[in-house]
Chains A and B, each alone.
Chain A
């Protein structure tokens, strides 16, 4: 895995916030809520709506990214939300919304995984009831070697890019995507490698939260 940098509580205006980097990929997440949801037709009568908005800053890549939603960012919004929803206690806040804004300010592959890690920390920082922290990392296979946390060049070289999101306590995977071709055996090995990566990330997330609040 690339060197991980974490800082929690970096956006004073937000209820919770965090910055998470895998090497040169940096994501900043800001959480607002639970707060009233407008427009009313979006309200869910028995739980809160978890809105995840993922965006890449135009300067995050070598070629300028056009601001605004794209099919790719919409997909990432959806998978991010689905990765976090199983642990966020949305039933405690009917008709409200919990807004999670994820901004990628520097992109070198693994942006959705960095984004999920940052979002998980930001949700905890905001004091939102959660049953676990979610960790996320991508893995793959280049030649005969299984690799963890692919950077840009590695993503181009790999047979398959497999990002996962993992709940440490429940030992369950909340997100899994697979982009490429791999045998069943290789897939199992890659997923196991990614889970080990998540266990490392969990320790760093804990440490960062403790530093923010208890020191």
Chain B
């Protein structure tokens, strides 16, 4: 029996988080939701996560910043960023930094699953997240 990949879903919006983990479990993945990047980093889950789905706009630490923290800690995780505020500049910055996909909300479950398939095959390039040019 193969071990199903473990996927972490980090979104401060409970509906999106619960829906996403529900969909992943229906596909046989092991899925766990977190309301913030901090909650995820403090759990032991970070060590066994094969794929990360993170919202870009979250209070405190954004999805992109979380990805950067994992990279900096030498634990690159294939990451799909989801966002309700699509922004071309952030998309470019995220993809350049090695994020597997940048998915604007709303998206269908199928689109998300396609991204996960791709992300699980995706090798994270060890490029640091460039600081925002605006700051």
Are A and B part of the same complex? no
